[in-house]
Structures are given as structure tokens and as C-alpha cells.
Homo-oligomer: A and B are copies of this chain.
Amino acid sequence: MIRWDADHESTAETPDLAALAALLADRTRAAICIALLDGGTWTAGELAEYAGVAPSTATEHLNLLVAGGLLAEERQGRRRYVRLAGPDTAETLENLAGLAPYRQVRIRSLAEANHRRALHHARTCYDHIAGALGVALAETMLERGLLVREYGLELTTAGAAWLADLGIPHAGQSPAHRAHVRTCLDWTSRRQHLSGAVGAALYRHALEHRWIIKAPASRILAVTEVGRAAFRERLGLPDEVLTPTPATPLSRDRTEVSPRRPG
């Protein structure tokens, strides 16, 4: 709305896109946000170590991110806990990451390589499944006519029936309601996986029935034996997305951690 001040100068409000983008335009802050995409709560110190900066630097970044509304914080004693502000934030961050160019990074240890491999295989994306497993889910459901590609993805009536058969109460029950399907561009594979209400329901269902289990303080998901059977039977998912890739030895493991931004 347009307003007039006391001194008869007129002003208006515009969304400051540049200010928001500037928050994410720094590698350290971007890394912090991506770390928080696991939906969890981290302390300032953990994030400082994760991002490879001094605690004082992390403090400054967190101040900016919280003031900008991207992060929510909670203080307990001498600790500062932060997490993403909400699902909107998470969704927009994932969308951005899908649009972003790729960058080469060095793998510095065997542990990091294995961690990365596990992330590519299956991980949470705030409230749904991403990684090779998530992409395979979406693509197989497409092939089987449970989803159809039309301005994003859509649940078909066959898809609603399939969900109902699984025992997911949500979709296609009340005739006035239709299931909300959203897609999320997977930043590990550049293909789309399932999000929205159906994606979230599927994730919850898989967790509750122990098809998958989530490692604490991490985004990594593991498919259980029960899950392998279920995914195979219900969807015919191929084995390669159900079993983790075996770890490959690194030629040089455990190089010392270099100071920030060497390249």
C-alpha cells in the first residue's frame, strides 16, 4: 500500500529480493542452510565446525540468518539452537538448490566419501524422501500410471487407489478433496522426486512401518529388510536403489583438513 508521511513524502513497500538472496550468497551461510535441510536442530558450535569457520564467524552468520527470517533460534543456557524457520523455507531452499549450477568439491576422507554416497542413495528432504530412492519412487509411480506428468506431477485415480490400498488414508477418500502432489528437483540426480502431501504421507508411512529408518542427527535413510520386500512387491523397485552401494576404498584417505576456501 502507498502511504504519505507527515512531511508529505510518499513511500511504498517492495519485497527486498536482493536482501534475501544476499543471505544465501555466501558459501558458509549456504552450507549452514543446506545442513539444516535435514529438518533438525543444530548448535552454533556444530555449525561452525561443519562449515569450517571460527565460532565468532558462525555467530555473525547466524545473526544474519535469524534476523532475515530464514532460521528460528532457541536459547538454552549457554547454547544456541537453530533450525530452519519452517516448511516454506525448506521448500524454497530445495527449489533453489535444484536450479543452482554444480561445483566440484574435494573429498577429503573415506568417511566423507561414504557419507556422501549414503546421501545420494536415500535421504530426507525435510518431510519426504529424496536421493536415488526418492527419484526411483517417483519414476516408478509414473511408469505404472500412479502419477502422470502434467504441469508437474499429478496423482491418478489408480494412484489414489494404490495409496488407499497401502493404508494411507489421505488421498481419494473424500470426493471433495484431492491429494496434493508436489515435486522437488533432486540436487543429487537432477531428477524430480515426490513431495507435497503425498510425498510426506509416503515418508511417514514408510517410517512407521519400518520400511526405512533414519539415522539420528543426519539426513541419511536406510532401507530395512522389510522395506526392501515392500518396495519390491508394491512397486517393483529395482534392487540397486534398495541396497546401499558398497563402499569403495580411497587412495588417499585422511588428508588433513585444509584451511577454509583453499580453491
Q: Which residues in A have some Cβ–Cβ distance to B below 8 Å?
A: 1-2, 4, 8-27, 29-30, 33-34, 68-70, 88-89, 91-93, 95-107, 113, 116-117, 120, 145, 148, 150-152, 154-158, 175-182, 185, 187, 196-197, 200, 248, 250-252
Give me 16 A-to-B residue pairs in the complex whose CB atoms sit less than 8 angstroms apart, sorted by A's number: A2-B113, A2-B117, A8-B252, A11-B106, A14-B105, A15-B100, A18-B25, A18-B30, A19-B103, A20-B96, A20-B100, A21-B96, A91-B95, A92-B92, A155-B178, A178-B178
Q: Is the CB of B154 within 8 A of A106?
A: no
Q: In the bound complex, what is the Cα–Cα distance between A24 and B10 (angstroms)? A: 27
Number of copies of this protein chain within its complex: 2
Known: A20-B101, A21-B24. A15 touches B187 (CB 8 A): yes
Q: Is the CB of B251 within 8 A of A16?
A: no
Majority secondary structure, A binding face: mixed
